[in-house]
Amino acid sequence: MSRSLKLLPLALAVLALPALADPNLPKKGELGTTLKPEEVARWDIDVRPDGQGLPPGKGTAREGEQVWMEQCASCHGEFGEGVDRWPVLMGGKGSLATDAPVKTPGSYWPYASTVWDYIYRAMPFGNAQSLTHDQVYALTAYILNMDDVIPADFVLDAKTLPTVKMPNADGFVVDPRPEMKAADPCMKNCKAEVTITGHARKIGVTPEEQAPMQ
Amino acid sequence: MNGEKTTGGLGRRRFLTGSAKLAATGLLAGGAVTASGIVRAEGIPKELPDHSRYLGPGVTDEPYGVPSQYEAHVIRRNVEWLTASAESSVNFTPLQDLHGIITPNGVFFERHHSGRADIDPKTHRLVIHGLVDREVSFTMEDLLRFRPVDRIFFTECAANGGMEWRGAQLNGVQFTRGMLGCAQWTGIPLKTLFDHVGLKPKAKWLLAEGGDASALTRSIPMEKALDDCMVAFAQNGEMLRPGQGYPIRLVVPGWEGNMWVKWLRRLEVGDQPWYTRWETSKYTDLMPSGKAYKFTWVQEANSVITSPSPEKPLNGAGPYIIRGLAWSGHGKVKRVDVSTDGGKNWVTAPLEEPVISKALVRFYLPWRWDGKSSALLQSRVIDETGYVQPTIAQLREARGVHSIYHNNSIMTWLVNPTGEVENVQVA
């Protein structure tokens, strides 16, 4: 067998391999600092609907009331009714299919875990991650109690929170878009009449134009 | 943005009328209107201007340059009544004054949820953990040792156009389509980073978390993450601006801007979505039935005429160029049609190169105005999937008026006989 024929299988094998990575690129695992589980735990604050991520601690709506009045009521209102444009957290049940839907945890949010997760990571607005785990459990219980999801003495903790069934848990469907069938768009004489149904200018809510700086 | 509230706030607007506005900007100075209605400027100024005689500032004057003083009106604007506070709010890109497909960094729209974080890159870390072979923290220096890619993509807030569901409400292209920008992003593909740390077999979802005071989090399917997402550190040739997530942000091409998590500090790999506040309470689309769409990630095809527009009135009869932008979160723009009679008749507008997948595309269509007739200007995009940009009537029929997000309907600009242009809706 000639030398070139002997080399043929090798050449074919090389061709069959995926393009070899540049050996000067970072090798797997070469960069970054490997973290210990306790280091990850300090940053890992998220909570899933099945309860994964919930820390130890507990609270009831009764215990939440004082924290609510001190930390939350100035924006969300004493009864969760919302001050000015700040979010309403109470009521709205049965409103989603009406002309004035009100989206609260009780009327709209599918999972109780989201309430815990969001309060802990971002509330109070401007002082994030300042509440203790017990306070967050108590506030979550307070909001869910305002919305008649759980009774005032219901003890919320890592075990019980995932068992709370939210009223609108089944209210969501996965994005079905595009709902409209693609049709060849009309180019000529597409409609007989065009009627103007509204002018933004007449609504009068556009911010006023400032004179150009010249 | 919250966007629920669609009325209220400010009193009657005193928008300058077309000719008054032009006079105010000095375009009519020394001009004359010809018999045919074309406005002609004075030929050559009589005096030698100062800038042709005296020295200008030297090269030490402006270490980081800013636009001409005569472009001071090209700024981001906001709508105060939209939100409870400026820290959790949005501002709008001045599309009417921009050219080409790249949005300058200084006027790129911003949407913050707890204000703009200002992060020292020396102390910043990107943590990757969960269903990975090695849980790891990267410094900025680590990230810069990976091979980057440069990619041009648009980003658009899901709520762009959200105030127009019930009817024409905000009188301007900036306020109705300006939660939009397009940039060249430089960063490391997520696939590169995940190859480096190793994904476990059950890795199906990714949670991205921001390092601002809202710690915004979104769940992203791993298939998308490995397809074209990246951790970007630069935008249009310079490091990200703080308002865009400095020192790093996620780039999620074609998907709603809220998922492009800014000030990115953590990527957790898991086997199911997290249902964070930003994918349940917000950024879900409520239907008339009371059910809501979830995981409405894609920004479907959209287009708008940027000039003429309410901010860019006409100045007498004659030739004009209808300028506009088109984009699609599903891929490439295939075609743009323009109507000047409210959708009765359409002509196809030539697309300007480059036409890049999931990026803004520019179209220019020459048009002649007689200086006295009304016109109803519209643009309609068709993308490579065959999707045709819908009318507002079609969208309302499918989704009602309470879904807030993903209003990509055809916009209509009414050209009045005076040359003024206004935002209207038509049936």
Q: Does the distance separating the beta carbons of B134 and A34 come in below 8 Å? A: yes
Task: State how far residue B286 is from chain A, nearest Cα, in angstroms.
Answer: 8
According to the CATH classification, is domain B111-293 in 3.90.420.10?
yes
DSSP, collapsed to helix, strand or coil, labels residue B374 as coil
Please report the domains of chain A, with CATH numbers, ordered by start residue: 58-163 (1.10.760.10)
* pLDDT recorded at residue A183: 77
Interface mutation target, options B171, B264, B412, chain A, most CBs of A under 10 Å: B171
Q: 3.20.20.70, 3.40.50.2000, 3.60.70.12, 2.60.40.650: which CATH number matches B302-424?
A: 2.60.40.650
Contacts of A109 in chain B (CB under 8 A): 280-281
* pLDDT recorded at residue B276: 98
Query: E strand or H helix at B363, and its extent?
Result: strand B361-369
Residues 6+ apart with CB under 8 A from B145: A26, A31
Residue A184 pLDDT > 50 = yes
Closest C-alpha among B110, B102, B13, B30 to residue B311: B13
Residue B323 pLDDT > 90 = yes
Contacts of B346 in chain A (CB under 8 A): 185-188, 190
What mean pLDDT value characterizes chain A? 91
DSSP, collapsed to helix, strand or coil, labels residue B191 as helix
When pLDDT is cut at 50, 70 and 90, the band that residue A15 belongs to is: low
When pLDDT is cut at 50, 70 and 90, the band that residue B46 belongs to is: confident
The arithmetic mean of pLDDT across residues A129-136, rounded, is: 98
Chain B contact for A186, CB < 8 A?
A: yes
* pLDDT recorded at residue A22: 92
Q: What angle do CA B113, B116, B122 make, to 5 degrees?
A: 125
What mean pLDDT value characterizes chain B? 93
The letter for the amino acid at B131 is: L
Partner residue opposite A35 with nearest CB, options B136, B172, B286: B136
Chain B contact for A196, CB < 8 A?
A: yes
Residues of chain B with CATH 3.90.420.10: 111-293
The arithmetic mean of pLDDT across residues A73-90, rounded, is: 96
Residue B308: asked if its preceding bond is cis (omega within 30°), the reply is: yes
* pLDDT recorded at residue B23: 43
Q: Does the distance separating the beta carbons of A34 and B213 come in below 8 Å? A: no
Closest C-alpha among B101, B81, B102, B99 to residue B90: B81
Residue A203 pLDDT > 70 = yes
Residues of chain B with CATH 2.60.40.650: 302-424
* pLDDT recorded at residue B25: 45
The arithmetic mean of pLDDT across residues B192-220, rounded, is: 98
Residue of B nearest to A211 (CA): B24
Closest C-alpha among B222, B224, B209, B228 to residue B126: B209
Chain B contact for A101, CB < 8 A?
A: yes
Chain B contact for A171, CB < 8 A?
A: yes
* pLDDT recorded at residue A213: 37
Taking the C-alpha atoms of residue B308 and residue B96, their distance in angstroms, rounded to an integer, is 8
Residue of A nearest to B138 (CA): A32
The arithmetic mean of pLDDT across residues A143-161, rounded, is: 97
Query: E strand or H helix at B425, and its extent?
Result: strand B421-426
Residues 6+ apart with CB under 8 A from A132: A57
* pLDDT recorded at residue A16: 54
Alpha helices in B181-239 (DSSP H): 190-197, 222-228
Residue B300 pLDDT > 70 = yes
Interface mutation target, options A201, A202, A210, chain B, most CBs of B under 10 Å: A201
